Structure 1
């Protein structure tokens, strides 16, 4: 069954990415940009927002015109699960530290995927957590506590 372009998941997902990128670009414009040589605090968020908008536009333009009907009920559950996982991460980051909080985020986000596979999820959470710690704590030297307070 042929549907309109507005019923296509890729098109709507691309528009959502463009909207999120536009919002991030709007928010980041209040920070000093700096130059390429001495980047200010607004440079990276603004650059990533533009990149997100470009990828969203590319996705929306490449969406086929005869896509399947959009299912709001089936597509809403993963969004809510991932959003809940991010909110949980924000709440437990300070008391639990970066390592445990990252693992909780990844495991909770993986509940959005069916079927849930415990072994794969645990391996993924360990691998991604190592990457997160190496990137944020060591490469970027962001002062996150790695472990819960008192350890």
Structure 2
């Protein structure tokens, strides 16, 4: 019996390769792997204490949190038959990747890097939010504009004003 393209030999027909609980297990394992790598790398630096944090404190703690989250995702994975359907077309997964979302996310990262270097925090944070909002097909340009404005305001208040991050609001080159 021949399988559909992208299907393994032991997989039932009509079921995508990374469907259901396999996707949760692989996602949890990937998070654990990344977290363990961050912990391993973070422990090579001075850890410090809560009052005097060293350079290894943040990556070690963040890696440990990623490991815990990865284990919890993998532990709560359920088989597709026991999952409740979400929405009207829950049984139908898209046959192809959402290229629009991938493109918008990657384009927003490039825009942040370019505008962050040659434009400053304000245009970079606006662009990263505005462009990535179009990865969701339900967003309109008005909702993306409102979202980008709010996130830009929050990033200016948090990073530039409260944390006094050395990232100019506007720069030309």
Tell me, yes or no, if the aligned pair for 1:5 and 1:64 is still in contact at 8 Å: no
Q: Does 1:124 align with 2:147?
A: yes
1:49 aligns to what? 63
Between Structure 1 and Structure 2, which shows a larger proportion of helix residues? 1
Runs of 5+ unmatched residues, structure 1? none
Change (3 A) 1:70 1:76: farther
Using structure 2 for the length normalisation, give the TM-score: 0.70
TM-score of the two chains, using structure 1 as the length reference? 0.78
Q: Larger Rg: 1 or 2?
A: 2
CA RMSD of aligned residues (A): 3.0
Q: SS in structure 2 opposite 1:123?
A: helix
CA displacement, residues 38-63 of structure 1 (integer Å, 9 cap, x when unaligned): 00122122212222232232122222
Q: Classify 1:95/1:4 alpha carbon distance in 2 versus 1 (closer, same or farther; 3 Å).
A: closer
1:97 has 2:109 as partner: no
Distance 2:100 2:59 in 1: 28
Give 5+ residue unaligned stretches, structure 2. 1-11, 84-90
Q: Is 1:20 aligned to residue 43 of structure 2? A: no
| Separation in structure 1 between the aligned mates of residue 145 and residue 137 of structure 2, nearest angstrom | 15
Q: How far, CA to CA, are the matches of 1:52 and 1:28 in structure 2?
A: 13
Greater length-normalized contact order (CA 8 Å, ≥ 6 residues apart): 1
After superposition, the Cα gap between the structure-2 partners of 1:93 and 1:27, relative to the gap in structure 1 and judged at 3 Å, is farther
